């Protein structure tokens, strides 16, 4: 009994560390927790960046979210010290609309990028400059970890990531 309680406590600590640590380290898939079966997504975040905004009060932010789990995950909310609030936008053709969540399909990838789905950081606390780094805290539903924190660079306004990724 005592040993089981101790193991439970250790697992709890590990889960907290996972939730607050950078998700990037999980992308090789070697350090995942076991036993999270079934319909849960398992997410990792990489390749984030923020093109330097020309306006002072809002900026788009992009990341790539990989889901190696057995169920769809949903990106539901984002917070950052750089902005009062963050909205999620989906783009179809030339029309963008605000959505409550973006789906990361099981076994698939959600790639945010210019002209596509994106996060919009609104009411910026200051105008970010190239070379600066920004912390983004991504909240997921139906996924483990439920929260992933990444630090992303501010790039030139016209920056595009290498398509080979």
Q: Which is nearer to Cu ion, 43 or 59 (CB)?
A: 59
Residue listed under structure tokens 């990444």: 150
Contact in structure between 96 and 116 (CB atoms under 8 Å): no
Report how far Cα 29 is from the mean position of its chain's Cα atoms.
Answer: 17
Residues 90-109 that bind Cu ion (CB under 5 A): 96
Q: Which is nearer to Cu ion, 68 or 90 (CB)?
A: 90
Quote the least distance from Cβ 120 to Cu ion, whole Å. Answer: 5
**SS3 at position 27:** helix
Quote the least distance from Cβ 119 to Cu ion, whole Å. Answer: 8
Q: Which is nearer to Cu ion, 142 or 155 (CB)?
A: 155
Quote the least distance from Cβ 91 to Cu ion, whole Å. Answer: 7
Per CB under 5 A, 89 contacts Cu ion = yes
Contact in structure between 78 and 135 (CB atoms under 8 Å): no
User: Could you please report the per-residue DSSP string of 118-165?
Assistant: EEEEEEESS---TT-EEEEEEEEESEESSEEEEEEEEE-TT----TT-
Q: Which is nearer to Cu ion, 89 or 137 (CB)?
A: 89
Residues binding Cu ion (CB under 5 A): 89, 96, 120
């Amino acid at each position: 009994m005592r040993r089981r309680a101790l193991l439970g406590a250790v697992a709890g600590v590990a889960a907290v560390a996972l939730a607050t640590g950078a998700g990037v380290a999980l992308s090789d898939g070697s350090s995942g927790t076991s036993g999270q079966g079934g319909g849960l997504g398992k997410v990792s975040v990489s390749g984030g960046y923020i093109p330097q905004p020309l306006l002072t009060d809002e900026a788009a932010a992009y990341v790539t979210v990989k889901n190696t789990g057995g169920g769809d995950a949903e990106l539901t909310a984002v917070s950052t010290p750089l902005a009062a609030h963050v909205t999620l936008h989906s783009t179809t053709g030339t029309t963008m609309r605000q959505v409550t969540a973006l789906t990361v399909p099981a076994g698939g990838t959600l790639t945010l990028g210019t002209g596509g789905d994106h996060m919009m950081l609104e009411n910026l606390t200051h105008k970010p400059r190239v070379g600066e780094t920004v912390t983004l805290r991504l909240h997921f539903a139906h996924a483990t970890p439920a929260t992933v924190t990444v630090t992303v660079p501010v790039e030139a306004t016209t920056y595009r990531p290498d398509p080979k990724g």
